[in-house]
A and B are shown apart, each in its own frame.
Chain A
Amino acid sequence: MAHEATHDHHDEHHGAPRGFFQRWVMSTNHKDIGTLYLVFALLMFFIGGSFAMVIRAELFKPGLQLVQPYFFNEMITMHALVMIFGAIMPAFVGLGNWMIPLMVGAPDMALPRMNNLSFWILPFAFALLLSTLFLPGGSEASGWTLYAPLSLQSSALSYTVFAIHLMGISSIMGAINIIATILNMRAPGMDLLKMPVFVWTWLITAFLLIAVMPVLAGAVTMLLTDKYFGTNFFNAAGGGDPLLYQHIFWFFGHPEVYIMILPAFGIISEIIPTFSRKPLFGYKAMVMATASIAFLSFIVWAHHMFTVGLPMGAEIFFMYSTMLIAVPTGVKVFNWVATMWGGSMTFETPMLFAVAFVILFTIGGFSGLMLALVPADFQYHDTYFVVAHFHYVLVTGAAFAIIAGVYYWLPKWTGRMYSETWAKIHFWNSVVWVNVLFFPQHFLGLAGMPRRVADYNVAFADFNMISSIGGFLFGASQLIFVGVLIHCVFLSKKKAADRVWDGAKGLEWTVPSPAPHHTFAVAPIIHDDELAHGHVED
C-alpha cells in the first residue's frame, strides 16, 4: 500500500549534519532551508507588526501623539515592504520548500545550492533595508510604491533600491528552483493533473514571479539612474513622465498581489478536503481558475491609477478586466464550499483558519469589486477603504492561510502535536480582533479619511480608536502563536502519527513524522489511490 510503496527505509541512516553552522548556514536540504525561510518570515512578521503598532498608536487619537509625520510615513513604507517581501513571500517560499518535494516525490529541490543562496540573500537585504531607518535623513517614506518624484527626494533611495534588487534576485532564484523542481523532479506517476493544488498554485506563482520581479527591478533601477545618473525617465522637467513609473510599477504590483494569494489558495485547497473528508470539488476547475487569475493579473494594472486621468476607453477596459477576475475567484470560493457541503467536517485549528479565510477573503474580494468600479473608485481612491480592502485580502487571506498551513503541516515537520486548545485560543483571538482592526476602516474610508496621514479630522476619532484597540489585541494574539510553536517544537510530549489527520491524502503523509532529513532518495512508484487527486478524468 502507500506506505510500503513510498517510504524510503534508508532515510534514518542519513541524518542532518551535527554542527550548527554546517546544518543551517551551509544547508542544501529543502526541509532545513524551508525552516530557515519560515523562521525568517516569522521574525519579519513581528518586525513589520511592530511598525504597524506605531502606526495604530499614532492614529489612536486625532492630533500628533507619538511621532512626527515623516517618521509616520517611514513606518508605513517599512511596514509594507517588510510584510510583503519579508514576511508573506518568504513564508510561502518556506512552505513551498518544505512541501513541494514531499508532495511530488522528489528527493530535494532541483538546485539545492541555489536554494541556499536564495535564502541567505534575504537577511542581508532586510538588514540593509531596515538600517536605512538609522540614516541621518531617515528611510524612504514614499510608501511601498516608491512613486517618483517623491521617492527621489530621499537620501535612502539607493540603499532601498539595492535592498529591493537583492529581494528580487532571491525571489527569482526561488521561483526558478520551484519551476525546475516541479517540471523535472516529479516521481513517476505524478502527472501534472495529479499534482496537489498547492503544487499547481506554486508553479503558476513561480511563473508570475519570473515575469514581474524583473520589471520591478527595472523600475527601481530607473529611479536610481534618475536620481544619480542624470536620466529623466520620470522627471517631467527633463522630458520624462512620473506616470510612466506608476504604469511600470503596477505592471509588477498587481501580479504581485496574486503572488501573495495564489499559494494561499493552494494551502486552503489542501486543508478543506482533509477536514471535510471528501476529495476537492472541481480539481481541474481549480487549476484552470488559478491559471486564469494569473493571466488576468497582467491586464488589470491601471485600476490602481483610475484617478490619474486615463482616457475613458482605458478606464472602461481596466474596469471590466478587473471585474472579470471575480469569475475564476468565485469558482474557487464555490468549489471550497461545495467541498465542505455534505462532508464529515471537523474543526481542528487548520480548518478553522481555512473557513475564516474563505469568509473573510471573500469580504476582501467584494470590496475589491467595489474599487474596480471607476466612478466609485474616484470616491474611494487613497482612502482607508483601500487600506481595509487589501488588509482583508492580505491578512485574513494570505496570512491566515500561512498560519493554517503551519498548523496543518507542523506535526509532520516536528513529529509532535501542537496544543489544540491554545491553537484555538489563538484562532478565536485572531479572528475577532482582526475584524475589530480592519472592519471599521471601511467606514473611515467611506467617510473620506485619507491614507498615509499621521493626523486626521476629529470626526474619524471613534472608529480609529476601535481600529487601534483591535490592532493592539490582534498583535498581542500572535504571541500566543509563538507560544504554541515553541511548545510544539521543544516541549510537546504528544507524538504525531505519520498520517497526522485521518482525512489527509497525498505523498507527504506517507513518510514518517517527523519527516526524515532525506526522503524519496529513490523515486517512488506512485499509484493513483495514494494521491489526493489521483482519479482526475481527462
Chain B
Amino acid sequence: MDGSMPGKPENTRATLNRQVLDPSQSVRLRRARRTAMIAGAVAVSFFVLSIVQMLWIQHLGLH
C-alpha cells in the first residue's frame, strides 16, 4: 500500500484510493453513475460555453 490509505484521507488521491476498498458492487456502481453524471454535465457546459463565448466576443466586437 502507498501509506496514504489508512486513517483520515488527507487528499483527493487518498479519498479515491480509500473508496475502492469498498467491495460492494452496488455502492461502486452508484458512485460510478454519479461520476458519469458530473462528467456529462461538464461536457454539456463546455458545448454551451463554446457558443456563448463566440456570441460574447461578437457582442463586444473584440475580433
Contact = CB atoms under 8 A, between A and B. Distances in A.
B33 interface: yes
Contacts of A218: 46-51, 54
A6 to B, nearest CB: 14
A192 B21 contact: no
A438 interface: no
Nearest to B21: A188
A181 B35 CA distance: 9
A528 B31 CA distance: 25
A506 B41 CA distance: 34
A12 interface: no
B32 A110 contact: yes
B2 A188 contact: no
Contacts of A192: 13, 16-17
A232 B36 CA distance: 35
A240 interface: yes
B31 A184 contact: yes
Best-surrounded residue of A185, A218, A222 (most CB of chain B within 10 A)? A218
A217 interface: yes
Best-surrounded residue of A232, A244, A528 (most CB of chain B within 10 A)? A244
A57 interface: no
Contact of A176 (B3, B5, B25, B40): B40
A114 B2 CA distance: 33
Best-surrounded residue of B25, B47, B50 (most CB of chain A within 10 A)? B50
B46 to A, nearest CB: 4
A176 B36 contact: yes
Contact of B5 (A191, A211, A239): A191
State the majority secondary structure of interface residues on B. Answer: helix
The contact size tier of chain A is 35 or more
A536 B17 CA distance: 14
B43 A172 contact: yes
Contacts of B4: 538
Interface in A237-259: 239-241, 243-244, 248
Interface string B5-35: 1000000010011011101010011011101
Nearest to B57: A244
B63 A184 contact: no
Contacts of B1: 189, 191, 528
B23 A248 contact: no
Nearest to B20: A186
A243 B32 contact: no
Given A111-B36, A172-B43, A183 B16 contact: yes
A209 to B, nearest CB: 9
Interface string A21-53: 000000000000000000000000000000000
Interface in A283-326: none
B48 to A, nearest CB: 8
Given A219-B50, A538-B2, A177 B63 contact: no
A184 B43 contact: no
A188 B3 contact: no
Contact of B20 (A111, A184, A240, A241): A184
Contacts of A187: 20
B36 A180 contact: yes
A215 interface: yes
Contacts of B33: 110-111, 180
A179 interface: yes
B32 A194 contact: no
A184 B35 contact: yes
Given A191-B5, A210-B39, A107 B32 contact: no
Contact of B63 (A172, A175, A185, A241): A241
A214 interface: yes
Interface in A154-186: 172, 175-177, 179-181, 183-186
Contacts of B17: 191-192
A215 B47 contact: yes
Nearest to A179: B39
A507 B13 CA distance: 21
27 contacts: A107-B25, A110-B33, A110-B35, A111-B36, A114-B36, A176-B36, A176-B39, A176-B40, A177-B36, A179-B36, A180-B36, A184-B28, A185-B28, A186-B20, A191-B1, A193-B2, A193-B13, A210-B43, A213-B43, A214-B46, A214-B50, A215-B47, A215-B50, A218-B54, A241-B63, A538-B2, A538-B3
Interface of B: 1-5, 13, 16-17, 19-21, 23, 25, 28-29, 31-33, 35-36, 39-40, 42-44, 46-51, 54, 57-58, 63
The 4 A-B pairs with the shortest beta carbon distances in the complex, nearest first, are A218-B50, A110-B32, A214-B47, A214-B46
Given A179-B39, A184-B31, A243-B63, 15 more contacts: A110-B28, A110-B32, A110-B33, A111-B36, A191-B17, A191-B20, A211-B42, A214-B46, A218-B48, A218-B49, A240-B63, A241-B63, A248-B50, A523-B25, A538-B3
